[in-house]
Amino acid sequence: MAQQIRMPNGQLAEVGAVKTPMHAAVAVATDSTDVLAANAGRCYALLINDSDTDIYVKLDGSDAAVNEGIVVKADGGYYEMSGAFGNLTTAKITAIHGGSGTKRLLVTSGVGV
């Protein structure tokens, strides 16, 4: 059953239920790393930077590059997407960072019911 939430702009948006949320910790490298596979059923995703280095995310299925796309700031920065927010993508999501070693990106995603 869908519910309504009030968006920051004051409009009401309908939010569908998330079926079986999935959680993962993705090791993001200094070359493009796949974060989420393309999924036509995706209705929600939350990306949280659990590292000390900014992580750059691409939402269009292309390879991630430093200083391109969406920057998820270090130490808890996040990017949340859903149909209700109007920023949901069902394409493959990739990420990269410009530091050294690997960095951790916490990923929660779900498909609709």
List, in order, residues 6 or more apart from 108 with CB less than 8 Å away.
Answer: 21, 22, 23, 44, 45, 46, 48
Confidence of residue 15 (pLDDT cuts 50, 70, 90): low
Better-predicted residue by pLDDT, 79 or 1: 79
Q: What's residue 11's pLDDT? A: 59
Give domain limits for the chain: 19-112
List, in order, residues 6 or more apart from 11 with CB less than 8 Å away.
Answer: none
CA distance 83 to 14: 9
CA distance 2 to 55: 33
Q: What is the reported pTM? A: 0.84
- Kindly tell me if the per-residue pLDDT of 43 is higher than 90: no
Q: Render 61-90 in DSSP notation, one character per residue.
A: SSPP-TTSSEEE-TTT-EEEEETTTT----
Question: Which option is the CATH number for 19-112: 1.10.3720.10, 2.40.50.140, 2.60.120.770, 3.30.1490.100?
Answer: 2.60.120.770
Q: What's residue 5's pLDDT? A: 55
Better-predicted residue by pLDDT, 17 or 71: 71
